């Protein structure tokens, strides 16, 4: 009887193994053939870009840094690797992959994503799973999700879980993404027209030490590479619960002697509804103004360092 | 550790090997150790409460067993019920009772502010507390003898497949099984694996995917229009069914592989044609527990009021059911709504039966369809209270459904497509099982090839579109 049970389970496993291999490999092939969209942008950032100026960050990075402004002011090529809702772990993984290939001249880290301990920060690292096999440098970061990631990767489908429709849509040109043409920058339209509700600016929450370590590691790795690194806290429409976050960043940057520019209370932006689409995201006009300020500051800083 | 964690996929096969390698006489010990290991992996301190409930129940039921008649037997039962309810009340209701007392004192201008105590509700406490109470009452009523072996009783309370979210089992079903010499049975293992596979499909492909959409809408009710809120309110009952039904199937399947039969918890609830039928198909173990230990004694006490006695018993039973689900006004309203629906059915049952007979309606498919839709609507309407965090939010959802028009929020289209695809498979299977159980057999097909392809396809579907980072099972919070 035990033989019968084991035999039947083995048959199912064998069929699953064959199907998993065939479907997984097909998905992998078409995933890396995508020519637009968020997944393509990750692939392009990790494996192709050789831009002189690279922006790292989450959604505020994606929507706040206008390529033409930086290219014009700093005289170099530009690319924005920012991805919505992907925090410091993703940014560190991205940096590791970039530095394996080349060293950008300027690295801007838009450090807006929270240091709060959240399970979702680890879960979202699933977007790096398609790269796990080929990019050894990111494995340590992906394995923060769970100690079993290496085992789960036995499945060829697993890295492409939930990607099937996007892969189909992108390859059949049903879905279109425009990130390539904006060099990673995605402008936002509109203005904040709602009321500004007061928030509890001193609500306590648990800081994730892994995030703080990753932030520090990002700065140390970028500095060691020889790139000029600048850390920016982006503008916000209204005071949020961020003081603790900013102080952690400021202290690390101070210790590492890296410029840290805090725009969270900047008078040009604070309470200026015309420049925001929501509490934290600038519209295109806001992004233009912000980009000009940052680009000029970077230019000044670089010029001052030059003999 | 929970059923969807990777740890469980390692733990369970190892346990099965160890379990069947242990001499049959001592298998319950292996299972007891495994159950505590499973539970300790969630939070070690929780196991102390489980052990306390077991010890108290063992002590007092043993005393009841030695006391044949007289008031002491009843006293022992009452003392034990109070003792095992204490942790449940403390962890589940302490903060609410506290807040209530402060609010009451404030009415008399007495302010006595104390900081809130942040308590983590021990997972499964509501389930195993009910199981221990049921056992105590059964011993009191002499339906079963008090268990002499504390290990067997401890296993009944902590049995890992059902400790987290039920099914709320009965001692008379479980204790003899734990004592029996269980041998490896091919059919039991095969059925168990099928249940587990389908349970994982329900949880990972349907529940967690629909949950992403429902959470997006219900997490921000003030930003969404009535169309989106209505759609999310229709999806939520399906999410809950796939979540809790999926959990239950994994639990039943796990137990069955170990040679233990655990009662069914769901039976295609959304094909019920009335609320009374719905409650015979939804969370069966809780409702049968409430029927035996609350509703039946109550309706017996109120029998002199005839049909109104039934109404009172129904309202009290579902009020308790609401409170059991959570210490919030929303759950009280939810419970009372169920009581109200069932009471109306009880009051109109006679007329309804005469009308159906007169027009020969009970077998007409259009009439059945109307009944199914109406029952679903009633349940979905009540579930707004179960899903929202407070009563204001629940009324806001209703208000916005009727007053704020707009286009449906889609978010990421793929999430909805995957979710609805999974849900369609689930509902089609339920329809087939209900109306044509011999049609289109896959898991039960006589050809092995078809069965293997069916199992493999479900596994591949889980790998392709299952949500692996989904939240915990909804019923863990109860």
Tens of pLDDT, residue by residue over A267-301, are 898 888 889 998 889 999 999 999 999 999 999 99
Interchain pair A165, B417: CB under 8 A: yes
Residue A93 sits in a domain whose CATH number is 3.40.50.1110
Tokens 């006695």: give the residue: B309
Q: Which residues of B touch A8 (CB under 8 A)?
A: 190
Q: Quick one: B319 and B416 in the same domain? A: yes
Q: How much is the pLDDT for B470?
A: 58
Considering only CA atoms, which of B53, B41, B245, B56 is closest in space to residue B160?
B41
Q: Which residues of A touch B452 (CB under 8 A)?
A: 11-12, 15
- Write out the catalytic residue numbers of B: 325
Considering only CA atoms, which of B374, B456, B90 is closest in space to residue A155?
B456
Q: Does residue A109 register a pLDDT over 90? A: yes
Q: What are phi and psi of A106, to 5 degrees?
A: -125, 135
Q: Quick one: B116 and B84 in the same domain? A: yes
Confidence of residue B248 (pLDDT cuts 50, 70, 90): very high
Q: What angle do CA B465, B471, B472 make, to 5 degrees?
A: 120
Considering only CA atoms, which of B138, B157, B154 is closest in space to residue B65?
B138
pLDDT in tens, B171-195: 999 999 999 888 888 999 999 999 9
Dist. CA B31–CA B50, nearest whole Å: 15
Q: Which residues of B touch A162 (CB under 8 A)?
A: 414, 418, 464-465, 467
Q: Is residue B227 part of a domain?
A: yes
3-state secondary structure of A263: coil
Among A15, A126, A164, beta carbon nearest to B469:
A126
Dist. CA B456–CA B321, nearest whole Å: 39
pLDDT in tens, B302-319: 888 888 899 999 999 999
Dist. CA A36–CA B447, nearest whole Å: 45
Residues facing residue A110 across a β-bridge: A57, A232
Please report the sign of the dihedral spanned by the C-alpha atoms of residue B174, residue B90, residue B165, residue B330.
positive
CA closest to B464 among chain A residues: A161
Q: How much is the pLDDT for B161?
A: 92
Considering only CA atoms, which of A80, A62, A63, A58 is closest in space to residue A71?
A80
pLDDT in tens, B268-283: 999 999 999 999 999 9
Q: Quick one: B400 and B427 in the same domain? A: yes
Average pLDDT over residues A96-123: 91
Burial of B306 (0-12, 13-18, 19+ CB in 10 A): exposed
pLDDT in tens, B318-331: 999 998 888 788 89
Confidence of residue B475 (pLDDT cuts 50, 70, 90): low
Q: Is residue B1 part of a domain?
A: no
Q: Rounded to a whole number, what is the distance in Å from the CA of A290 to chain B's nearest CA?
A: 28
Q: Does residue B116 register a pLDDT over 80? A: no
Q: pLDDT exceeding 70 applies to what percent of chain A?
A: 94
Q: How much is the pLDDT for B257?
A: 95
Q: Quick one: B328 and B377 in the same domain? A: yes
Q: How much is the pLDDT for B43?
A: 82
Q: Is residue B468 part of a domain?
A: yes
Surface of B (190-219) touching A: CB under 8 A: 190, 193
Q: Quick one: B107 and B213 in the same domain? A: no
Q: Does residue A307 register a pLDDT over 60? A: no
Q: How much is the pLDDT for A73?
A: 92
Q: Quick one: B362 and B231 in the same domain? A: yes
Q: At A54, which helix (H) or strand (E)?
A: strand A53-57
Average pLDDT over residues B245-261: 94
Among A5, A9, A23, beta carbon nearest to B460:
A23
CA closest to A152 among chain B residues: B6
Q: How much is the pLDDT for A40?
A: 87
Q: Which residues of B touch A4 (CB under 8 A)?
A: 186
Q: Does residue B100 register a pLDDT over 80? A: no
Task: Please identify, among B160, B183, B206, the residue that sits at the C-terminal boundary of a domain.
Answer: B183
Average pLDDT over residues B38-45: 86
Confidence of residue B112 (pLDDT cuts 50, 70, 90): low
Q: Rounded to a whole number, what is the distance in Å from the CA of A209 to chain B's nearest CA?
A: 21
Confidence of residue A48 (pLDDT cuts 50, 70, 90): very high
Range of the domain at A238: 2-305
Confidence of residue B473 (pLDDT cuts 50, 70, 90): low
* Contact yes or no for A155/A19 (Cβ under 8 A): no
Number of domains in chain B: 2
Tell me, what's the ipTM? 0.84
Confidence of residue B54 (pLDDT cuts 50, 70, 90): very high
3-state secondary structure of A58: coil
Q: Quick one: B22 and B52 in the same domain? A: yes
* Contact yes or no for A278/A192 (Cβ under 8 A): yes
**Residue of A3, A5, A174, A205 to mutate for B, most B C-beta atoms under 10 A:** A5
Q: pLDDT exceeding 70 applies to what percent of chain B?
A: 96
Q: Is residue B372 part of a domain?
A: yes
CA closest to A164 among chain B residues: B464
Dist. CA A256–CA A254, nearest whole Å: 5
Task: Please identify, among B140, B165, B183, the residue that sits at the C-terminal boundary of a domain.
Answer: B183
Number of domains in chain A: 1
Considering only CA atoms, which of B329, B308, B304, B277 is closest in space to residue B93?
B329
Q: Quick one: B205 and B169 in the same domain? A: no
Q: Which residues of B touch A2 (CB under 8 A)?
A: 184
Interchain pair A162, B414: CB under 8 A: yes
CA closest to B20 among chain A residues: A2
Q: Is residue B40 part of a domain?
A: yes
> How many interchain CB pairs under 8 A, A with B?
58
How does A84-102 read in b/e, with b if 16+ C-beta sit within 10 Å?
eebbbbbbbbbbbbbbeee
Q: Which residues of B touch A155 (CB under 8 A)?
A: 463
Among A1, A5, A20, beta carbon nearest to B463:
A20
Q: Which residues of A touch B456 (CB under 8 A)?
A: 12, 15-16, 19
Q: Quick one: B243 and B360 in the same domain? A: yes
Confidence of residue A197 (pLDDT cuts 50, 70, 90): low
* Token pair recorded at residue B249: 């199937």
Range of the domain at B262: 188-477
- Per 3-state DSSP, what percentage of chain B is helix, strand, and coil (rounded to 5)? 75, 0, 25
Among B6, B414, B466, beta carbon nearest to A165:
B414
Q: Rounded to a whole number, what is the distance in Å from the CA of A126 to chain B's nearest CA?
A: 9
Q: Is residue B171 part of a domain?
A: yes
Interchain pair B418, A162: CB under 8 A: yes
* B417 Ramachandran zone, left/alpha/beta (phi>0; psi -120 to 50): alpha
Q: Does residue B468 register a pLDDT over 60? A: yes
User: CB-based contact (8 Å) between B456 and chain A?
Assistant: yes
Q: How much is the pLDDT for A303?
A: 85
Interchain pair A152, B6: CB under 8 A: yes
Confidence of residue B397 (pLDDT cuts 50, 70, 90): very high
Task: Please identify, among B116, B149, B183, the residue that sits at the C-terminal boundary of a domain.
Answer: B183
Residues of A with CB under 8 A from a CB of B: 1-2, 4-5, 8-9, 11-12, 15-16, 19-20, 23, 120, 123, 126, 146, 148, 151-152, 155, 157-158, 160-162, 164-166
Q: Rounded to a whole number, what is the distance in Å from the CA of B247 to chain A's nearest CA?
A: 22
Q: How much is the pLDDT for B51?
A: 94
**Residue of B212, B460, B471 to mutate for A, most A C-beta atoms under 10 A:** B460
Q: Is residue B198 part of a domain?
A: yes
Q: Is residue B88 part of a domain?
A: yes
Q: How much is the pLDDT for A290?
A: 94
Q: How far is CA A172 from CA A6, A14, A33, A162, in A?
A: 42, 31, 11, 17
The lowest-confidence range among A235-239, A259-263, B95-99, B287-291 is B95-99
């Amino acid at each position: 009887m035990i033989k019968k049970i084991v035999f039947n389970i083995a048959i199912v496993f064998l069929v699953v193994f064959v199907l998993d291999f065939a479907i997984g490999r097909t998905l992998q092939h078409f995933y890396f053939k995508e020519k637009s969209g968020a997944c393509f942008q990750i692939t392009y950032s990790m494996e192709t870009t050789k831009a002189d100026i690279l922006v790292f960050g989450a959604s505020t990075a994606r929507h706040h840094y206008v390529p033409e402004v930086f290219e014009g002011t700093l005289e170099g090529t530009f690319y924005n690797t920012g991805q919505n809702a992907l925090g410091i772990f993703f940014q560190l993984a991205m940096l590791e992959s970039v530095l394996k290939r080349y060293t950008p001249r300027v690295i801007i880290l838009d450090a807006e994503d929270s240091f709060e301990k959240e399970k979702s920060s680890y879960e979202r690292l699933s977007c790096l799973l398609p790269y796990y096999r080929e990019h050894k440098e990111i494995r340590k970061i992906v394995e923060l999700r769970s100690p079993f990631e290496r085992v789960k990767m036995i499945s060829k489908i697993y890295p492409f879980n939930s990607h099937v429709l996007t892969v189909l849509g992108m390859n059949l040109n049903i879905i279109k993404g425009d990130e390539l043409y904006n060099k990673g920058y995605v402008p936002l339209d509109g203005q904040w027209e709602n009321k500004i509700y007061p928030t509890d600016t001193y609500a306590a929450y648990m800081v994730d030490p892994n995030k703080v370590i990753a932030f520090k590691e990002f700065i140390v790795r970028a500095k060691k590479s020889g790139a000029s690194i600048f850390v920016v806290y982006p503008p916000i429409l209204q005071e949020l619960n961020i003081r603790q976050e900013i102080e952690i960043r400021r202290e690390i940057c101070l210790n590492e002697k890296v410029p840290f520019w805090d725009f969270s209370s900047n008078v040009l932006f604070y309470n200026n509804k015309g420049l925001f689409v929501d509490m934290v995201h600038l519209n295109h006009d806001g992004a233009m103004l912000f980009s000009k300020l940052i680009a000029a500051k970077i230019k000044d800083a670089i010029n001052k360092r030059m003999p | 550790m929970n059923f969807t964690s990777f740890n469980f996929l390692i733990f369970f096969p190892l346990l099965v090997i160890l379990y069947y390698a242990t001499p049959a006489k001592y298998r319950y010990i292996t299972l007891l150790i495994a159950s505590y290991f499973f539970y300790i992996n969630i939070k070690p301190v929780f196991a102390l409460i489980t052990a306390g409930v077991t010890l108290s129940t063992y002590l007092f039921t043993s005393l009841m067993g030695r006391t044949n008649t007289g008031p002491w037997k009843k006293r022992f039962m009452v003392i034990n019920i109070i003792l095992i309810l204490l942790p449940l009340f403390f962890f589940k209701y302490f903060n609410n009772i506290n807040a209530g007392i402060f609010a009451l004192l404030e009415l008399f201008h007495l302010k006595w502010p104390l900081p809130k105590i942040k308590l983590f509700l021990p997972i499964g406490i509501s389930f195993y507390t009910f199981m221990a109470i049921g056992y105590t009452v059964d011993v009191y009523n002499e339906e079963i003898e008090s268990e002499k072996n504390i290990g067997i009783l401890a296993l009944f309370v902590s049995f890992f497949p059902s400790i987290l979210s039920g099914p709320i089992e009965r001692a008379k079903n479980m204790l003899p099984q734990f004592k029996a010499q269980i041998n490896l049975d091919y059919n039991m293992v095969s059925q168990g694996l099928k249940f587990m596979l389908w349970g994982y499909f329900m949880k990972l492909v349907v529940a967690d995917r629909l949950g992403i959409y429902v959470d997006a809408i219900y997490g921000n009710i003030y930003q969404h229009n009535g169309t989106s809120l209505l759609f999310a309110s229709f999806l939520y009952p399906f999410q809950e069914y796939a979540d809790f039904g999926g959990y239950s199937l994994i639990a039943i399947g796990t137990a069955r592989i170990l040679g233990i039969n655990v009662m069914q918890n769901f039976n295609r609830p959304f094909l019920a044609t009335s609320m009374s039928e719905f409650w015979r198909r939804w969370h069966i173990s809780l409702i049968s527990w409430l029927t035996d230990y609350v509703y039946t004694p109550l309706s017996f006490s109120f029998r002199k009021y005839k049909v109104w006695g039934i109404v009172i018993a129904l309202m009290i039973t579902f009020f308790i059911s609401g409170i059991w689900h959570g210490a919030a006004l929303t759950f009280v309203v939810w419970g009372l709504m169920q009581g109200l629906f069932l009471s109306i059915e009880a009051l109109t049952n006679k007329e309804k039966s005469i009308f159906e007979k007169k027009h020969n309606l009970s077998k007409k498919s259009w009439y059945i369809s109307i009944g199914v839709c109406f029952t679903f609507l009633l349940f979905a309407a009540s579930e707004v209270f179960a899903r929202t965090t407070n009563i204001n939010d629940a009324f806001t959802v209703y208000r916005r459904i009727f007053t704020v028009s707009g286009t449906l929020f889609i978010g990421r289209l793929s999430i909805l497509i995957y979710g609805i695809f999974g849900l369609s498979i689930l509902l089609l299977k339920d329809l087939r099982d209900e109306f044509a159980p011999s049609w289109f057999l896959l898991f039960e097909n006589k050809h092995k090839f078809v069965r293997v392809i069916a199992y493999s396809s479900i596994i591949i579907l889980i790998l392709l579109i299952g949500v692996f980072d989904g939240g915990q099972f909804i019923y863990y919070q109860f």
